[in-house]
C-alpha cells in the first residue's frame, strides 16, 4: 500500500491541528479535565479554526462547557453549510462511511398516503443482501404502514425512523404477482445486525435491439468494508473487466441512491469510464481555505489525476456517452464523478435533479485525548473539474426528467423498471410498449437521508 496525496494531506492536517495548535498554548493555562465538555469543545475550535472551508465566516463560539454538538453547530456558516457533521463516536463514524451499520437491512421512501391525509406510507426502495430483511422475504415495493404497531404519520415518522435502529416490528402490504393487488401481511419482527453493506448492488448485461448494454447500480463510494480494505473497488474493476470482455457498447450507471462517500472510489470508477485517460489527466481539483493554502504550499494546487485502468471502457462506448440514473439523493461523490467526466465525454443524465454538493470533508479524531470519543466531519474543501467548473450547488438537471415516485416500484434491474427502461429506450430509440400506471405522490423523506455517508465527499483515502 502507498499513501495518496490526499491521505498525506489528511495526516498533514491532523498534525497541523493536533500538533501546531497545541504548542502555541501557554504553559500557565489552567489544566482542563480531559473528559469534560470543555476539553472536547477546545479541540473542536482548534480544528475548525484552521481547516474549516468557510473560515472567514466561522460562527462565534458559545460557552466552553456547552454540549459539544451545540458548540460545533454554533460555529457553522449557516445556511450555506448544510453538510458539516459532529458524531458522538469517531469509530462508528468511520464504520458508517464504509457501509457498516447496525440495521435490519432495508431502505424505504416515505409518501403521504393520499392527498390531504396525514398518514404516511413507506415503500421499500431496496433490500440489502445478507440482511435480516432479505431473510424475512421483504422486497422492493412492499409498503409499510406501521412501525412497532404505530401508524406512520407526518407528526411521528421522524421518531419512528429512529426505532428501526433496533429490533422492531412492521405492518406491511405486499403485491400479489397474480392479481396485482396489494395484500395485508402478518406483522413481521426484524432483528438488527452489524451489517457490512456492499455498494456494488447490481451488474447486468442486456442485449436489446442489437445493442449491448452494461448496467451497474452503485449505492455509495467506499473502497472496502473498513480499514485498508479495497474489496469493493476490486469488485468494481472485475465488473468493468466483464463489461469490456463482453464488448458492451453502452453503459448505464445507476446513482439514484448514491449519496456519496470516498473520493478514492469515485476516482477509481471515473477512471474506468473516461475515454483514453492517463495518469496525467486531471479528474478533479481541490481548493481549501485561504489560511491553509497560504500556510501549506502543497495545498495551493491539489489535483487528483485519473488512474490507468486496463478495464477502462471509454473507447468502446458509442457516441462517447455514459448514461447516469439520478435522483434528489444523488449527491456529493456521485456529483463529483458527473462533473469530473463532463470535460471528457457526454454525460447523459436520466432521472431527477441531483442534490447539489461540491464540497468535501476529512474525518478528524482527537488523537491526543483518549477520553474524547467524538469525530468531526467538517467541510474543508471545494472540488472543481479539469476545466475549473464547480457550478452545481443547486444540482445537475437531467437530460430526461423522470421521477421514480411517479410509478409503483418494479424490481431493480428489470428492464420495465421506470428509470432503467427510460435509459434503454433512449439507447435503442424504441419507446417502451408497456402500459404503466402513473402516480401523483408527495415524497416527504427517505431512510437514506439519515445515513452518515449521505451528502459526504470524503477526502481521506488509501489506494493500491
Q: Of the given ranges (25-39, 44-58, 329-343), which has the lowest mean pLDDT?
A: 25-39
Sign, CA torsion 57/41/47/21: positive
3-state DSSP call for residue 318? Answer: helix
Before 65, cis peptide (omega within 30)? no
- Of 355, 347, 364, 340, which is closest to residue 455 (Cα–Cα)? 355
101-195 homologous superfamily: PDZ domain (2.30.42.10)
- Got the DSSP string for 263-292? HHHHHHHHHHHSTT--TTSEEEEEE--HHH
Tens digit of each residue's pLDDT (9 = 90 or more) over 331-384? 999 999 999 999 999 999 999 999 999 999 999 999 999 999 999 999 999 999
Mean pLDDT across the chain: 91
Q: Does the pLDDT of residue 387 top 90, yes or no?
A: yes
Tens digit of each residue's pLDDT (9 = 90 or more) over 242-279? 999 999 999 999 999 999 999 999 999 999 999 999 99
Q: Does the pLDDT of residue 18 top 80, yes or no?
A: no
pLDDT of residue 7: 40
**Per-residue buried b or exposed e for 199-225, using 16+ beta carbons within 10 Å of the residue's own CB:** bbbbbbebeeeebbbbbbbbbbbbbbb
Contact 125, 108 (CB under 8 A): yes
Q: Which residues make up the CATH 2.30.42.10 domain(s) of the chain?
A: 101-195
Q: Does the pLDDT of residue 326 top 50, yes or no?
A: yes
Distance in angstroms (rounded) separating the CA atoms of residues 202 and 175: 22
Query: If pLDDT is split at 50, 70 and 90, which confidence band does 1 have?
Result: very low
Q: What is the mean pLDDT of residues 177-191?
A: 95
pLDDT of residue 464: 27
Structural Rg of the chain based on CA atoms: 23
CATH of segment(s) 198-362+382-432: 3.90.226.10
Q: Which residues make up the CATH 3.90.226.10 domain(s) of the chain?
A: 198-362+382-432
Distance in angstroms (rounded) separating the CA atoms of residues 65 and 213: 58
Q: Does the pLDDT of residue 172 top 90, yes or no?
A: yes
Q: Of the given ranges (90-104, 151-165, 433-447), which has the lowest mean pLDDT?
A: 433-447
Amino acid at each position: 500500500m502507498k499513501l495518496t496525496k490526499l491521505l498525506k494531506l489528511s495526516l498533514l492536517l491532523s498534525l497541523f491541528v493536533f500538533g501546531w495548535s497545541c504548542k502555541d498554548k501557554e504553559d500557565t493555562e489552567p489544566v482542563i479535565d480531559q473528559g469534560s465538555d470543555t476539553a472536547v469543545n477546545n479541540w473542536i475550535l482548534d480544528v475548525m479554526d484552521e481547516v474549516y472551508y468557510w473560515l472567514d465566516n466561522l460562527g462565534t463560539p458559545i460557552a466552553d462547557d456547552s454540549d459539544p454538538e451545540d458548540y460545533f453547530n454554533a460555529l457553522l456558516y449557516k445556511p450555506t453549510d448544510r453538510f458539516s457533521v459532529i458524531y458522538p463516536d469517531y469509530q462508528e463514524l468511520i464504520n458508517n462511511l464504509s457501509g457498516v451499520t447496525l440495521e435490519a437491512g432495508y431502505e424505504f421512501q416515505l409518501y403521504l398516503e393520499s392527498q390531504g391525509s396525514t398518514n404516511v406510507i413507506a415503500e421499500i426502495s431496496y433490500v440489502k443482501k445478507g440482511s435480516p430483511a432479505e431473510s424475512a422475504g421483504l422486497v422492493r415495493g412492499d409498503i409499510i404502514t406501521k412501525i412497532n404497531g404505530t401508524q406512520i404519520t407526518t407528526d411521528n415518522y421522524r421518531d419512528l425512523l429512529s426505532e428501526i435502529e433496533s429490533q422492531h416490528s412492521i405492518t406491511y402490504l405486499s403485491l400479489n404477482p397474480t392479481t396485482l393487488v396489494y395484500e395485508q401481511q402478518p406483522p413481521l419482527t426484524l432483528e438488527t445486525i452489524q451489517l457490512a453493506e456492499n455498494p456494488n448492488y447490481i451488474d447486468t448485461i442486456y442485449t436489446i435491439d442489437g445493442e449491448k448494454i452494461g448496467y451497474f447500480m452503485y449505492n455509495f463510494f467506499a473502497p472496502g468494508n473498513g480499514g485498508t480494505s479495497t474489496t469493493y473497488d476490486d469488485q468494481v474493476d472485475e465488473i468493468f473487466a466483464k463489461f469490456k470482455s463482453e464488448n458492451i457498447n453502452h453503459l448505464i450507471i445507476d446513482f439514484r441512491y448514491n449519496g456519496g462517500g470516498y473520493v478514492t472510489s469515485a476516482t477509481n470508477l471515473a477512471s474506468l469510464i473516461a475515454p483514453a485517460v492517463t495518469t496525467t489527466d486531471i479528474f478533479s481539483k481541490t481548493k481549501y481555505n485561504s489560511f491553509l493554502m497560504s500556510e501549506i504550499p502543497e495545498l495551493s494546487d491539489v489535483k487528483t489525476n485519473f488512474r490507468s485502468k486496463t478495464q477502462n471502457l471509454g473507447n468502446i462506448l458509442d457516441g462517447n456517452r455514459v448514461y447516469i440514473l439520478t435522483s434528489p439523493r444523488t449527491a456529493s461523490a456521485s456529483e463529483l464523478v458527473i462533473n469530473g467526466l463532463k470535460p471528457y465525454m457526454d454525460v447523459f443524465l436520466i432521472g431527477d435533479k441531483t442534490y447539489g454538493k461540491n464540497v468535501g470533508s476529512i474525518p478528524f479524531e482527537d488523537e491526543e485525548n483518549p477520553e474524547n470519543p467524538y469525530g468531526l466531519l467538517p467541510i474543508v474543501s471545494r472540488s472543481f473539474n479539469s476545466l475549473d467548473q464547480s457550478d452545481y450547488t443547486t444540482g445537475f438537471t437531467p437530460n430526461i426528467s423522470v421521477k421514480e415516485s411517479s410509478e409503483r416500484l418494479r424490481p431493480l434491474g428489470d428492464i420495465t423498471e421506470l428509470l432503467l427502461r427510460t435509459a434503454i429506450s433512449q439507447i435503442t430509440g424504441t419507446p417502451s410498449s408497456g402500459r404503466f400506471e402513473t402516480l401523483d405522490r408527495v415524497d416527504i423523506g427517505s431512510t437514506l437521508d439519515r445515513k452518515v455517508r449521505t451528502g459526504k465527499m470524503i477526502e481521506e483515502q488509501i489506494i493500491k
